[in-house]
Amino acid sequence: MATLKAITGLIDENGNDTYIDRTQCHRDRPMEVLCLGPGRTGTDSMRVALKILGFDDCYHGYSGVAENPPDNYMWNRAMDYKLLGKGTFGKQEWDQLLGHCRAVSDLPCVLFSKELIETYPEAKVILTYPPKGFDRWHESCCNTIVALRDDITRDAWGLVNHESKLTRDTFFRSFDAFWRGDFKKHAREVFDDHVAEIKALVPPEQLFEYDVTQGWEPLCEFLNVPLPEEEFPSGNDP
C-alpha cells in the first residue's frame, strides 16, 4: 500500500508515515479525558496540554483525520449512523477508531459528545469556554473556520490530492452537522444547547468547566496529576 507521505505529503509528529486501518485496531489504553468544548475555545492548547500531562494520544480536530487519512472513512460511517440512521456505530467501533487515545478534543469528536460520554462513562469531561467571550470567539470563527468552509476553491483540492479533499470534506461535514447547517445563524443557540446537554449527561464531580487562560493549576487539580515544569501551551485558538 502506498504510504501516507507518498499520497498526501503528510507525516505524523514523529516523522513517521501513518496509514492505519482503524477497523483492524482495538483499545490499548483507557479513555480518560473527553474535552468537549467547541472549536477555537482552546481545544488546540488542550490537546498539547493533555499530552504533556501524559494523556497520550489526544485526538484533535482536523489534525486527527489529517494525520491518518483512513480515519475519514470511519468518521463518515459514524456520521451516517448519527445523522442518517445508516449502519451501526457502537463501542466496538469507537474503540477501533479512538483506541490509541486517552483523550479527545474538538470536532469531529465533539459532534459525538453524547455517544462518547455514554461509551466512556468513567472518563472525566472538560468543557472549554472562549477565553475572550462569545462575541470575540464568534468573530474569530467566522474569520477562520467559516471562511475556509466557504472558500470556493475547496472543491479544487480533489484535483490535486484526493486524501486532502476527503479530510477537509469530512471535517466540514462534522462542522455543518454540529452547527445545524449555519454557524453564523445558530452559533449561540447551539453553544448554549451543547453546554446544557453536557451538564445534563455528566455528574458534577466528573465535569470541569475551564478557560485555558487559567493555566495548569486548576486543570491538574481536576485531573489529579502533578504540575508540569513547562509553560501552559498556546495553540491556534483566539
- Cell numbers linked to 100: 490509541
Q: Which residue has the cell 445523522?
A: 83
Q: Does the structure show a pLDDT above 50 at 173?
A: yes
CA nearest to 42, candidates 163, 219, 200: 219
Quick: pLDDT tens for 212-237.
999 999 999 999 999 999 999 986 65
The whole-number pLDDT of residue 100 equals 96
What is the 8-class DSSP label of residue 142? I
- Predicted TM-score (pTM) of the model is 0.89
132-140 average pLDDT score: 95
Lowest mean pLDDT among 14-18, 173-177, 205-209: 14-18
CATH topology of domain 22-217: Rossmann fold (3.40.50)
**Given pLDDT bands bounded at 50, 70 and 90, which one contains residue 1?**
very low
pLDDT tens profile 67-124: 888 999 999 999 999 999 999 999 999 999 999 999 999 999 999 999 999 999 999 9
Instruction: Please name which of 83, 102, 68 lies closest in space to residue 177, comparing C-alpha atoms.
Output: 83
Domain range summary for the chain, segments of one domain joined by +? 22-217
